[in-house]
Amino acid sequence: MASLLHHLLSEAAQRDPDHLAVRCRDRTLTYGELESAANGVAATLTAAGVRHRDRVGVHLPKSVEMVAAVYGVMKAGAAYVPLDPRAPTARLGGIATDCEIAGLISTTKGAHSLLPAIEQHDLRIAIAVGDAPEAIEQPVQVIRFDDAAAAPGEPHVEGIDTDLAYILYTSGSTGSPKGVMLSHRHALNFVRWCASALEVGPQDTLSNHAPLHFDLSVFDLYLAALSGATVVPVPDEITYLGAELSSFIAREGVSVWYSVPSALTLLARTLPGPGALPTLRTVVFAGEVFPTKELRRLRELLPEADLWNLYGPTETNVCTYHRVTALPEDHVPIPIGRACENTEVFALRDDGGVAGVGEEGELFVRGTCVMDGYWGRPERTAEVVVPDPRPGGRDVAYRTGDLVRLRPDGEYEFLGRRDHQIKSRGYRIELGDIEAALAANPAFLESAAVAVPHPDWGTAVIAWVVPRNGAEITERTVRSHVAGLLPRYMVPARVEVVDALPRTSNGKVDRQQLNDRSSTVPVG
Amino acid sequence: MEVADKIRHFIKEEVVLDTDSSLEDDAPLLDGILDSLALMQLVAFLEEEFDTEIDDTEVTAENFKTIADIERLVDGRRARA
């Protein structure tokens, strides 16, 4: 049985080498070809001096080369570090420097701009997709990707399943990104659960919408390999175009789709009616709360599709799931569900006791899914990976900072971030509650609630609302809508009606930017 | 100002946030310049500036790949109006 992620590729290649492994734009690789390209990349990295347990940056757009690159890095015994090609060079240079990458796989153009921003001396090789890498003037060996992929030989690096497979950098509260370290075992445990829960097989075609630096890509790439299915990375230029995403699913015959809810909302707006995407049998979403109103619309348009809500911070990838059956009323969010296999979740009340049914608490996660820590930051790691706080607890648990409530059916409801819990005029308020109320109004396309400090009340809530096309929305209509659903003290103090909410590169609503903008809004 | 110049001005002022940058009519916009937020802002701008409505199904790569493509979309609307 596979104990390392790249074993999944080797096994698939052995079972059916001619089966299509990856297709992106007009390029395809069979499992046999992908295995061979990954072996070539691994042999090239190894020959250049990349060693077991090193790190290699992968700085590539969506492409067949991106998939071959991550397998090549792991086959060399190293961990891959996704570097978002859309991120500023200085930030990427900082990440590459922080985890001391020994190799970089990029495009010729990308390597040209990124290499000078990397300030460390362990970098031994750059592999560049494209022509004329010799144009790069660097004190580092640069090899064309095609030459690397064609290199003969099979790598013989033997690792174990607790070795790091990849490091995902997420924004840190202090402003410099922190690298979440994840092992082969971590990802394998997850995709094995997915394969059995979603019943994925060689006949399936999986989308890859999320960028490589977002952990949704782990599902796409390794569930596909485990199942011997085909993965189709969504070209970067259509990521945010709903109409193009619908055509992509139809054209590529995607059967299993995984993305953030906002991408599905964009896509749903362009579907002519139910049955437009007949191949799509399973739709999985994660990363933010899917407004129930939008989810209902999606379900009406995709009546045959199975819908799954997955939950988990990057530090645990995915730790709970909820299979969508009946939908609650529009202002009630769907639950995050129950623990995945080989995972335990529990919530601790403020007084330290384990939350029972109906009680609120901070969610803790135990199991293989918990990260190994933040790269080079043991103190920061120790703040969140803590000894299991329950009586008799023997190992560690990850404290998510997320507030949840246990329902009588054993599923958890997400209530908001621990740091989003606010008190205003003495009342305790969950911003998620206000957001659910906002989301229930069909005239509001998107909305968010943000807390800002207030000299008199402690905190004031500002609502941000994007009107649906043509809807006439004023501060007054928004406040009176919320007042119709929630206690008066939860009605936002101010409402900003805007054309769009800011988003991060992952497609999530950019809470930081919203907070920053909210702090400049005058509150009476 | 020509249609293309108005679009260019908006993208430079509101999206790129760098008025000195050159943005040719055929520069690719969908590979790094326009993200989801910028696309929505741009569509709202086009609707208001050129007094037209752009349906979600029209926000395609063909129509938004370059400034020249957006100009063609807007000109097509105005010819029909």
**Contact status, residue A5 vs residue A184, Cβ threshold 8 Å:** yes
Residue-level pLDDT at A306:
97
The closest alpha carbon to A221, from A177, A166, A179, A267, belongs to: A166
Residue of B31, B35, B56 with shortest CB distance to A503 = B35
For residues A16-40, give the mean pLDDT. 97
- Res A524 pLDDT > 60: no
Q: For residue A13, report the phi and psi dihedrals to the nearest 5 degrees.
A: -65, -35
Locus of tokens 């509650």: A433
The answer to whether A242 contacts B28, with C-beta atoms less than 8 Å apart, is: no
Amino acid at site A194: C
CA A404 to chain centre: 20
- CB atoms near residue A53 (< 10 Å): 12
Residue A489 CB partners (closer than 8 Å, separation 6+): A424, A425, A427, A429
Residue of A236, A238, A503 with shortest CB distance to B37 = A503
CA angle B29, B30, B31 (to 5 degrees): 95
For residues A363-391, give the mean pLDDT. 95
The answer to whether B35 contacts A505, with C-beta atoms less than 8 Å apart, is: yes
Residue B47 C-alpha, separation from nearest chain A C-alpha, in angstroms: 11
pLDDT tier, A487 (very low <50, low <70, confident <90, very high otherwise): low
Six token digits for residue A442: 């069909």
**Contact status, residue A338 vs residue A357, Cβ threshold 8 Å:** no
**Signed CA dihedral, A72, A77, A78, A80: sign only:** positive
**Contact status, residue A370 vs residue A364, Cβ threshold 8 Å:** no
- DSSP 8-class letter at A362: E
- Res B30 pLDDT > 70: yes
Residue of B37, B53, B56 with shortest CB distance to A242 = B56
**Contact status, residue A355 vs residue A349, Cβ threshold 8 Å:** yes
The closest alpha carbon to A30, from A254, A252, A231, belongs to: A231
Cα separation, B77 vs A256, whole angstroms: 37
Helix (H) or strand (E) holding A105: strand A103-107
3-state secondary structure of B65: coil
| Reduced 3-state DSSP string for B42-66 | HHHHHHHHCCCCCCHHHCCHHHHCC
The answer to whether B59 contacts A502, with C-beta atoms less than 8 Å apart, is: no
Residue-level pLDDT at A419:
62
The answer to whether A237 contacts B59, with C-beta atoms less than 8 Å apart, is: no
Residue A245 CB partners (closer than 8 Å, separation 6+): A209, A234, A238, A263, A266, A267, A270
Six token digits for residue A423: 């008190």
For residues B21-37, give the mean pLDDT. 82
Residue-level pLDDT at A290:
87
**Contact status, residue A45 vs residue A147, Cβ threshold 8 Å:** no
- Res A52 pLDDT > 50: yes
Cα separation, A490 vs B54, whole angstroms: 36
A195 inside 8 A of chain B by CB = no
Chain B residues at the A interface, defined by Cβ less than 8 Å, are 28, 30-32, 34-37, 39-41, 44, 53, 56-61, 64-65
* Half-sphere exposure of residue B39: CA atoms within 13 angstroms, side-chain side: 27
Helices (H) and strands (E) in chain A, counts: 16, 27
Cα separation, A29 vs A72, whole angstroms: 14
CA angle A322, A358, A392 (to 5 degrees): 85
Residue-level pLDDT at A460:
82
Best B16, B18, B36, B62 member to test A by mutation, with max A CBs in 10 Å, is B36
Higher pLDDT, A502 or B36: A502
Would you mind telling me the total number of residues written for chain A in this entry?
524
Contacts of A501 in chain B (CB under 8 A): 37
| Per-residue buried b or exposed e for A177-201, using 16+ beta carbons within 10 Å of the residue's own CB | bbbbbbbbbbbbbbbbbbbeebebe
Contacts of A248 in chain B (CB under 8 A): none
The closest alpha carbon to A125, from A95, A102, A147, belongs to: A102
3-state secondary structure of A493: coil
Q: For residue B72, report the phi and psi dihedrals to the nearest 5 degrees.
A: -65, -40
Best B18, B55, B56 member to test A by mutation, with max A CBs in 10 Å, is B56
Alpha helices in A152-288 (DSSP H): 184-198, 216-218, 224-227, 242-252, 261-268
> Which range, A178-187, A484-493, B9-18, B46-55, has the best average confidence (pLDDT)?
A178-187
What is the tens place of the pLDDT at every residue in A123-161?
Answer: 999 999 987 666 556 678 899 999 999 999 888 888 999
CA A185 to chain centre: 18
Residue B80 Cα distances to A87, A408, B3, B56, B61, angstroms: 40, 59, 16, 19, 22
CA A244 to chain centre: 21
Residue B19 C-alpha, separation from nearest chain A C-alpha, in angstroms: 18
Residue of B31, B53, B61 with shortest CB distance to A241 = B61
Residue-level pLDDT at A173:
46
Higher pLDDT, A173 or A103: A103
**Contact status, residue A143 vs residue A45, Cβ threshold 8 Å:** no
Contacts of B41 in chain A (CB under 8 A): 499-500
Residue A344 CB partners (closer than 8 Å, separation 6+): A365, A366, A367
CA diameter of chain B: 35
- Res A175 pLDDT > 50: no
pLDDT tier, B74 (very low <50, low <70, confident <90, very high otherwise): very high
Q: How far apart are the first and last CA of chain A?
A: 64
What is the tens place of the pLDDT at every residue in A299-344?
Answer: 999 999 999 999 998 899 999 999 999 999 998 889 999 999 999 9
Cα separation, A399 vs A66, whole angstroms: 33
Residue-level pLDDT at A427:
60
